Amino acid sequence: MPSTPSPLRLLLAGGLGFAMMGALPGLYGLAIPAWTARFGAGGEGLVLTLHGFGSFLAVMAGLFGVRGLTIRVALLLLAAGAAGLGLGGGWAGVMAAAFVTGTGFGMLSLIVNRRFLTEFGARGPGMVGLVNAVYGVGAILAPQAVVLAGERIGPVYLGLAILLAAIVPVAQPAPRVPAAAGLPPLHAGRLSILGFVFAAVMLEVGLFGYGPSALLALDLPTRRVALLTSGFFAAFLLARLSLYWLADRVRPEHLFLGGFVGVVAAMAAAMLGAPEAGFALSGAAVGIQFPTFYVWAARVFGSDPRYGSVPLIGSLAAATLGPLLLVPVLAAGGATALFPAALAIAAVAAVALVVSLPRIGRLAAA
């Protein structure tokens, strides 16, 4: 007999799962240089891409109404992937584990964001911001865990796998509601907003994935870079916590736009002689973008549960393709070319969004 749905258990499973999931970006940023030193060059660009591809497949399954996508399954995939990353096994083992981890990442992101938005009623938009803020807790703590582990990545990944597995019994199935299968009707005009979240997530993935490498290229010591990576995610966390209050006061699309403007300012600071401050503060700018986009997109697309996957499609396409698009830029200009590249992407996206908001508003109202 199914148990009564518990908002507290949803909050605990979703919050703890997101905290553990949030550790992955911070670890990737530090692990990629370590894997390159250990295994040689050749797989560093594909790790983030395969992680993103696994996430993309999970979200597409949600878009088509595939059954069996649950918080428990997502947590188990994340645990298995983290264990594989901890064990290493060469680039092939790391890339396979990154794909499994990404699949769990996409599934958990899809299910938790959708359930928090719908099952917490009027508090839903604020709760989406809150659970995405908790994501930043793991991201802050993970780099410091690496320092405490003697700058060894493997034990931290293995510890993360154990914690993820321990959360599984807390999760409950979603309430049973009639659900359509197959692809929902999609409006090309509304789908155009995915281009903006593509840019936002490309910036986020680029900054947390390649930002530490850019700082290391400036001859900063590893411990200092680990501290700055934690600072990046501390700013990320504080920005998302602020959404619990801002969500009721500022329109989500305006907050989303503010994120692009913030990246422009942070990258300008990094290029003008303050790379440490610019990198750390850019965490706040990218931190507000996904939750605000998710709430905005829910208003644009409507209430069909399958549409919960749509906002994630653009973001996960960016997580898959974004690192690959940045690799030639970084190869040509060096790791520090990340700063002007991020500034250019954010500036173009901000201008395009300002121009497009009236048209998108009319489509949402139609």
What amino acid occupies position 299? R
**Start-end of H helices in 122-251:** 124-148, 154-167, 188-191, 194-217, 222-246
- Mean per-residue pLDDT, 10-37: 84
Q: Decide which of 299 and 166 is more confident.
A: 166
Domain range for 232 = 7-174+187-365
**Is residue 264 predicted with pLDDT exceeding 90?**
yes
**Is residue 125 predicted with pLDDT exceeding 70?**
yes
Q: Count CB neighbours of 159 within 10 A.
A: 16
Q: How far is CA 103 from CA 4, 138, 168, 187, in A?
A: 28, 19, 16, 27
pTM of the model: 0.73
Q: To the nearest whole percent, how much of the chain has pLDDT over 70?
A: 90
Q: How far is CA 213 from CA 72, 188, 199, 301, in A?
A: 34, 38, 21, 38
Among the residue ranges 172-176, 298-302, 328-332, the one predicted with the least confidence is 172-176
Among the residue ranges 185-189, 260-264, 315-319, the one predicted with the least confidence is 185-189
- Structural domain includes residue 1: no
- Structural domain includes residue 55: yes
- Mean per-residue pLDDT, 71-95: 90
DSSP annotation of 307 reads: G
The pLDDT of residue 5 is 63
- Mean per-residue pLDDT, 215-233: 88
- Mean per-residue pLDDT, 323-345: 92
Q: How confident is the model at residue 307 (pLDDT cuts 50, 70, 90)?
A: low
The pLDDT of residue 1 is 44
CA–CA distance, 137 with 233 (Å, rounded to integer): 8
Interaxial angle between packed helices 71-87 and 154-167, expressed in degrees from 0 to 180 and rounded to the nearest 10? 160
The pLDDT of residue 133 is 84
Q: To the nearest whole percent, how much of the chain has pLDDT over 90?
A: 36
Average pLDDT, the chain: 84
**Is residue 335 predicted with pLDDT exceeding 80?**
yes
- Structural domain includes residue 114: yes
- Structural domain includes residue 179: no
- Structural domain includes residue 92: yes
**Is residue 175 predicted with pLDDT exceeding 70?**
no
| Phi and psi torsions of 170, nearest 5° | -70, -30
Token pair 């155009």: residue:
192
Q: How many domains does the chain have?
A: 1
- Mean per-residue pLDDT, 248-253: 88
Among the residue ranges 73-87, 242-256, 266-280, the one predicted with the least confidence is 242-256
- Structural domain includes residue 182: no
**What CATH number corresponds to the domain at position 122?**
1.20.1250.20
- Structural domain includes residue 232: yes
Give the N- to C-terminal CA distance of the chain in Å, as an integer: 43
Q: Count CB neighbours of 71 within 10 A.
A: 24
**Residues in the chain, overall count:** 366
Q: How confident is the model at residue 73 (pLDDT cuts 50, 70, 90)?
A: very high
- Structural domain includes residue 2: no
CA–CA distance, 210 with 206 (Å, rounded to integer): 5
Q: Decide which of 137 and 273 is more confident.
A: 273
